[in-house]
Amino acid sequence: MTEHKRVKAGEKVGPGRYVCVDCGKTYEMTDAEQDLRHCPACSCEMYDCLPITHIRSDIKTPEDAVNPPKR
């Protein structure tokens, strides 16, 4: 099951990875809560949110975060 939340620019978001739905750029948030900004690359305001808890050193792409590679 791949399930991630979709969030919009302007919302207060917690730590995690935010992937622009339009151009695929990934932004990492590490602070507790901050306003999500429009994508600097394409001005898109919708992001897919990936939980930061799944981030490992061998995960480089949002797809890996959703389906972590087997070691």
| Site for Zn ion, rule CB under 5 A | 20, 22-23, 39, 41-42, 44
Burial class (CB in 10 A: 0-12, 13-18, 19+), 20: buried
For Zn ion, give the closer residue by CB, 22 or 48. 22
For Zn ion, give the closer residue by CB, 37 or 42. 42
Q: CB 7 → Zn ion: shortest distance, Å?
A: 14
For Zn ion, give the closer residue by CB, 22 or 64. 22
- Signed CA dihedral, 21, 61, 26, 67: sign only: positive
